[in-house]
Amino acid sequence: MMTDSKTIIGLTGNIATGKSVVRRMLENSGALGIDADIITHRTLYAGGPAYQPVLDAFGNGILGSDGEIDRRELGQIVFNHPKKLQLLESIIHPAVSESIKKRIQKTTSPIVVIEAIKLLESSLAPLCDTLWVSHASYNHQLERLLQTRGMSTVEAQQRIKSQPPQREKLKAANLVINTEGTFENTWDQLCKALNDTIQDNKNFNLMPLNINDWQICTAQNMPKTTLAHFWNMHLEPATMPLFEVLAFHMIVPLLANSVLSAMLIWDSWSYTGTIKMTLPQKLSPEEIPAILDAFHHSAHRHQCELLVLTEKQKGLLKASQDMLSFKKRTARQLKYPAWRQALHRIDSDPDTSFWTKILMQPLESDITFT
């Protein structure tokens, strides 16, 4: 269990039970979200704490042409070899735990949520003050794997049955979030849980951050009806339902004279932040600097290392006179693998140019990237 005023939520649940949805909603409530799978990948990159020890244990045959560890090749080596898997985990798990501890110590957020499917079996469990478990029935799990991950029925059934029964996680839970209903229902459960179980954390109800004449808030600080009304005014609800967006993206409300006047929707993947859209979609000259400041502050708070704007969003930089702090780069020109992969998720062409700004160096690497 960590000390100081932070509350650490351990979040677990079997495949397709909605763990990542709950984590993202907690992030939209002011929490720092940590995905243990993402941290695991980052420890294996060249310069990461597990990179050389894994090479020493399994040989250079696991390296790809880019000098990075080929996780598929490594997986084939340890698959169905319990002793080799145990060796790999003995190298990776301490590195992951150390990285997560550093991120917890670094954050100013009063709430931290650690998402890990094997949380209970790992050394991460003692870090947590409370255990939350996402839950959905077998039929819901199966339907989600078929619809959102493109699996065949046989493959989806095998993935579900290959995991330990969910009942062991439910038995250990301090709180269960049932994700079988609507996204709005999940959001309501989460907000109630925060109010009921973390009310002793006096720092949780964060004061808005002032930037010039604007205030940056979190979605959880805003009344649900206010958020929904503003959303429906500026966007057709059927196009992007508000609570579905809260489940998969970051939403930052901006207040002018205490009135909700603009909204930033951005994505965060492996500590790379990208603007998805803004509301209003056509911003006034006064709104643009506030949107970019909100992007910068929100991304920094969530420990993003790289900010990314597409070529279409270059007008935001020109209007804010912030062009000099961003550099035009392609995925090929970015040296850190997670940053390249983040750009690839936006555009698969490695030669597509983006406007990027490095906020900080990766905590999981001893290499300096510029």
The structural domains of the chain, with segments of one domain joined by +, span 7-197, 209-358
Q: What is the pLDDT of residue 228?
A: 95
CATH class of 7-197: alpha beta
119 forms beta bridges with none
Where does 61-152 have alpha helices with state H?
A: 71-78, 82-106, 138-148
Average pLDDT, the chain: 93
- Cα–Cα dist 295/304, whole Å: 10
pLDDT average, residue stretch 250-274: 96
Q: Give percent above pLDDT 90 in the chain.
A: 85
78 within 8 A of 91, measured Cβ to Cβ: no
Radius of gyration from C-alpha coordinates of the chain? 21
139 within 8 A of 180, measured Cβ to Cβ: no
Cα angle 22, 25, 30 (rounded to 5 degrees) comes to 125
Q: What is the dihedral of CA 48, 54, 55, 61, to 10 degrees?
A: -120
Q: What is the pLDDT of residue 175?
A: 96
**Confidence class of residue 199 from pLDDT cuts 50, 70 and 90?**
low
328 within 8 A of 8, measured Cβ to Cβ: no
pLDDT average, residue stretch 14-43: 97
Distances (CA, A) of 245 to 114, 196, 339: 21, 24, 23
- Cα–Cα dist 329/238, whole Å: 35
Residue 114 pLDDT > 60: yes
Burial readout 241-276 (b: 16 or more C-beta within 10 A, e: otherwise): bbbebbbebbbbbbbeeeebbbbbbbbbebbbbbbe
pTM, two decimal places: 0.94
Q: What is the pLDDT of residue 212?
A: 81
Q: Give percent above pLDDT 70 in the chain.
A: 96
pLDDT average, residue stretch 122-137: 95
**Phi, psi angles (nearest 5°) of residue 285:** -60, -30
pLDDT average, residue stretch 168-196: 95
Cβ count near 58 (within 10 Å): 19
Q: Which of 237, 249, 314 is nearest to 276 (CA)?
A: 249
**Confidence class of residue 239 from pLDDT cuts 50, 70 and 90?**
confident
CA 198 to chain CA mean position, Å: 21
> Reading across the β-sheet that carries 250-256, which strands appear in turn?
209-211, 214-216, 250-256, 259-269, 272-279, 306-310, 353-358, 327-330
Residue 244 pLDDT > 80: yes
- Cα–Cα dist 296/329, whole Å: 19
C-alpha count within 13 angstroms, C-beta hemisphere, residue 330: 6
Residue 207 pLDDT > 70: no
Query: In the chain, how many H helices and how many E strands?
Result: 14, 13
Residue 205 pLDDT > 60: no
357 forms beta bridges with 307
Q: Which of 98, 104, 131, 93 is nearest to 33 (CA)?
A: 104
pLDDT tens digit string along 268-315?
A: 999 999 999 999 999 998 899 999 999 999 999 999 999 999 999 998
Residue 226 pLDDT > 90: yes
Q: Which of 74, 45, 9 is nearest to 271 (CA)?
A: 45
Residue 172 pLDDT > 90: yes
pLDDT average, residue stretch 102-107: 96
Residue 112 pLDDT > 60: yes
| Domain spanning 209-358, CATH architecture | 3-Layer(aba) Sandwich (3.40)
pLDDT average, residue stretch 234-247: 89
